[in-house]
Amino acid sequence: MTLQELYESIGGDYSQVMRILRMEKLVDKHIRKFSQNGVVERLLEAGQRKDPTELFEASHAMKGVCGNLGLKALCDLASEISEEFRPGSARRMSDEEVDQKLEEIAASYQKVKEGILQYAEALQ
* Digit-coded pLDDT (tens) for 26-68: 999 999 999 899 999 999 999 999 999 999 999 999 999 999 9
Mean pLDDT in residue range 5-11: 96
Report the C-alpha gap between 14 and 93 in whole angstroms: 31
- pTM score, two decimals? 0.92
Backbone angles phi, psi at 23, to 5 degrees: -135, 135
Q: Kindly report the average pLDDT of the chain as a whole number.
A: 96
**What fold characterizes domain 3-123?**
Four Helix Bundle (Hemerythrin (Met), subunit A) (1.20.120)
